[in-house]
Structure 1
């Protein structure tokens, strides 16, 4: 059974990316889904082939794109895979020690996508009142001067 990993999202970074990208945000998030799916598959294929060199570029790409959207856990896993894969290439070893991280990668990626989609869906009720601000039932000042 795959160990569970808390999927940490830096919501302020996510919201900052959303604001900076504006109308292009959903399209670029779609590219993240497509590119991330390809990167995860490439890393898994490389792991099965024990090809550390083939892990480096997709792990690097996944790390950078994950950080852009605040997917810290995913970026951290990708960074570990990239670093160890680079080391394995340098010392001419198979990346066997990465098995646990590679097994965790797909579920963490898919959960991050689910969390992003939930945040972007206007029909989903926000647990915290939306956009990182907790609604205080006693605070009746919303809309007042």
Structure 2
């Protein structure tokens, strides 16, 4: 048994309520996050699956930036860590990322970046815990096989504008797109999802434009 796993619920939830079990088994505030994404649970699970790797990549990039005293890249990594972690309900990670981002922005440019080795270690610990929680939550929610709520209310034009600005709100908007878009061109829809998981806004914009033209030809 994995000793690092979050504690199990004190009283087992009924088998008919796997979502309640998931809420107790993870440290992610996933239910408010899901609500902000329009209640599209299958889409939420799909994006959540790419959350751990995105966090690991950002953590690695941040470590390199801090070592090189690359202020701009460090700020960008911390800002993205903050936004992405809060998108999926990793509130502790989001709070620490915000604290470090604001401090780094305010620091004099002729001084070393104000992130200590202890804070880096704490940030890494939170990233690994959030990744563990996300992987566990994906397993719980996939096992529950819930029915997806019908319909979305966002548009490709709204998504396109956010992608052009590399705005992390694009993650939320993607999950509120009309499900019919994915049915019309599932390959492009999946490629768009994967690009968003990588936070590759340029590639996501390309696939968004393909969907807007009616799908791949």
User: Could you tell me the TM-score, scaled by structure 2's length?
Assistant: 0.47
Instruction: Extract structure 1 runs of 4+ deviating beyond 4 A.
Output: none
Residues 5-34 of structure 1, C-alpha deviations (whole Å, 9 max, x = no match): xx9532432443576343222331133223
Q: Which residue of 1 aligns with 2:186?
A: none
Of the structure 1 ranges 18-27 and 47-56, higher mean CA displacement relative to structure 2 is found in: 18-27
Distance 1:108 1:100 in 2: 12
Task: Say if 2:100 and 2:115, in contact at 8 Å, map to a contact too.
Answer: no
Unaligned runs of 5+ in 1: 1-6, 124-145
By how many angstroms is 1:92 displaced?
Answer: 2.6
Give the alignment of 1:51-90 within 5 angstroms: 51-88=70-107, 90=108
Task: Say if 1:47 and 1:102, in contact at 8 Å, map to a contact too.
Answer: no
Give the aligned length: 118
Task: Say if 1:13 and 1:70, in contact at 8 Å, map to a contact too.
Answer: yes
Give the alignment of 1:120-139 within 5 angstroms: 120-122=138-140
Give the alignment of 1:1-145 within 5 angstroms: 9-16=28-35, 20-88=39-107, 90-122=108-140
Task: Say if 2:27 and 2:133, in contact at 8 Å, map to a contact too.
Answer: no
Residues 75-133 of structure 1, C-alpha deviations (whole Å, 9 max, x = no match): 01111221122122x4431114433222211221111111122222139xxxxxxxxxx
Residues 18-64 of structure 1, C-alpha deviations (whole Å, 9 max, x = no match): 76343222331133223222211111111222333221011101101
Unaligned runs of 5+ in 2: 1-25, 142-217
Distance 2:71 2:48 in 1: 28
Distance 2:136 2:38 in 1: 17
Distance 2:40 2:114 in 1: 39
User: Could you tell me the TM-score, scaled by structure 1's length?
Assistant: 0.66
Larger RCO, structures 1/2 (Cα 8 Å, 6+ apart): 1
RMSD of aligned residue pairs (Cα, Å): 2.8
Task: Say if 2:85 and 2:91, in contact at 8 Å, map to a contact too.
Answer: yes
Local SS of the residue matching 1:56:
helix
